[in-house]
Amino acid sequence: MLKTLPQAHSLFFAVVAAILFAASSSPAQSNGLSDDHTVKALSTSTVPITLGASTIAATVANTDTTRIEGLLGWAQITEDQGMLLDFIRPGFFAIHMQGMKFPIDALWIDSNGVIKLIYSSIQPNSGIVYPSLFKIRYCLEIAAGFCNKYGIKEGQKVKLGN
């Protein structure tokens, strides 16, 4: 189900400022992926993520710069690709679609790997901010329609890494 908020520039800038503040106090990371759903990869790494019976390769964004850039430089996304925004520790975060070239599904995932909220087929350049609404650790951005096609639902658990 697509959930939207009214368009408000002040809200957008407040959310971006909150994201930057939360991200700026992130601890340093090392390579690898732990068993406790902690992505410890460099920003150019990819990790396998299993959603139901499907596995995708997600590029990890775990620095201020890579989280802010997100998928902005991508011309397209396929069903076997994604971007995992790792906020390092749980909190309330938000994403936007300004400058994007394609729609996506956005999954807000907690520290235990449970999908807390899904925004389906969100459109580029809508001017809308998509908040987590729950305390989360990750946002997984994948091809629009993926969740509907493969039956991915809120409350399901995802597997991060092998």
User: What pLDDT, on the 0 to 100 scale, is given for residue 17?
Assistant: 37
3-state secondary structure the chain: CCCCCCCCHHHHHHHHHHHHHHHHCCCCCCCCECCCCCECCCCCCEEEEEECCEEEEEEEECCHHHHHHCCCCCCCCCCCEEEEEEEEEEECCEEECCCCCCCEEEEEECCCCEEEEEEEEECCCCCCEEECCCCEEEEEEEECCHHHHHCCCCCCEEEECC
For the chain, what percent of residues have pLDDT higher than 90? 64
Query: How many structural domains is the chain composed of?
Result: 1
- Residue 1: inside a domain, yes or no? no
What domain range includes position 126? 9-160
User: What pLDDT, on the 0 to 100 scale, is given for residue 52?
Assistant: 93
Give the global pTM.
Answer: 0.75
List the CATH number of the domain containing 71: 2.60.120.1140
pLDDT in tens, 126-141: 899 999 999 999 999 9
